[in-house]
Amino acid sequence: MAAQFPSTRSSSSHLQTTSKTFTLNTGAKIPALGLGTWQSGPNEVEKAVEVALRKGYRHIDTAFAYGNEAEVGRGIKNSGVPREEIWLTTKLDNPWHKRVTEGIDSSLKSLGVDYVDLYLMHWPSSTDPEDLKKHYPDWNFVKTWEEMQKIPKSKARNLGVSNFGIKNLEILLNDPTCKTVPAANQIELHPNNPSPKLIAYNTSKGIHSTGYSCLGSTNSPLYKDETLLAIAKSKDKTPQQILLAWGHQKGWSVIPKSVNKERVEKNFELDGWELTEEEVKKLDGLKGRFKVCGDAWLPVKVFFGDDE
């Protein structure tokens, strides 16, 4: 049975953010708000996932590379929320590009589930597992996607990519082996990395955008921004809530990360209010640019400035 979520209300969808969904090119509906688990420490994720699901979150995002799939799985089980009510996303790690079948099977086993709702290629980098500083000389992400397309829907309901800029998307989409357009592209999105060109490109190709590091990550310069702080104060909301509302109103899903119970719950309290058009424009106009996650650690460059 496919995961079912409440329909977006046409007249007041902006006031019902926590039940809002975005329809993917497959027809599946991804929840607008999820819990991210990147950089969550060991022995913290399990409780955070449980707290989030009990609060009402229905989208949990993880990855093989995070090393916490087993904890995420335990958190899901402990929450008591039926599996079919949860949208679960995980990702294929870079050194597993030649072992896609093993990769999805490993994740399913760790998570303790029969399927994931969305399986993403984490990075467009086919890394040699024998030397993580090297890229396979005879393999690339196009071949990885060719293999991902063979994954049975019984294991991965939807397929997508992550950290793909326009250049790499064009390489993928224009290759004759690409029979399935990615359902989603998970990318870094916040007012200091808004990526309007990439968002527009994703949209033009029917690819949904999900924003990670949507709060600007730990100790973000965003939290010193006077414009953001002023908007938060005027609406009696946290800066994090303002950033999440901004992302939703721009048209993408967001997966804020936190392991703090109060913050996890506070980030979910988005119903009944919205940002004005003027407030959205003010956030659009924030000065300064930074990326939380670059590509210097990868054996190949994946960001070419076209993701801005």
Nearest Cα to Cα of residue 107 among 143, 75, 68, 153:
68
Q: Which amino acid is at 88?
A: L
State the first-to-last Cα distance of the chain, in angstroms, to the nearest integer. Answer: 38
pLDDT at residue 3 tops 70: no
Single out the catalytic residue among 57, 66, 115, 201.
66
Q: Give residue 7's pLDDT band: very low, low, confident or very high (50, 70, 90).
A: very low
Q: Give residue 9's pLDDT band: very low, low, confident or very high (50, 70, 90).
A: very low
Is 119 annotated as catalytic? Answer: no
Is 122 among the annotated ligand-binding positions?
A: yes
Half-sphere exposure of 97 (CA within 13 A, CB side): 26
Structure tokens at 116: 């994931």
Contact 134, 127 (CB under 8 A): yes
pLDDT at residue 12 tops 60: no
Q: What pTM did the predictor assign?
A: 0.93
Percent over 70 (pLDDT), the chain = 95
E-strand spans in 118-276? 118-121, 159-162, 184-188, 208-212, 253-254
Residue 41 DSSP code: P
Contact 233, 208 (CB under 8 A): no
CA 58 to chain centroid = 13
Spatial CB neighbours of 254, under 8 Å, sequence gap ≥ 6? 32, 33, 34, 189, 210, 211, 214, 244, 247, 248
Give the separation between CA 255 and CA 59, rounded to whole angstroms: 8
> Which residues on neighbouring strands pair with residue 162, listed in sequence order?
186
Angle between helices 239-250 and 277-284 (to 10 degrees): 100
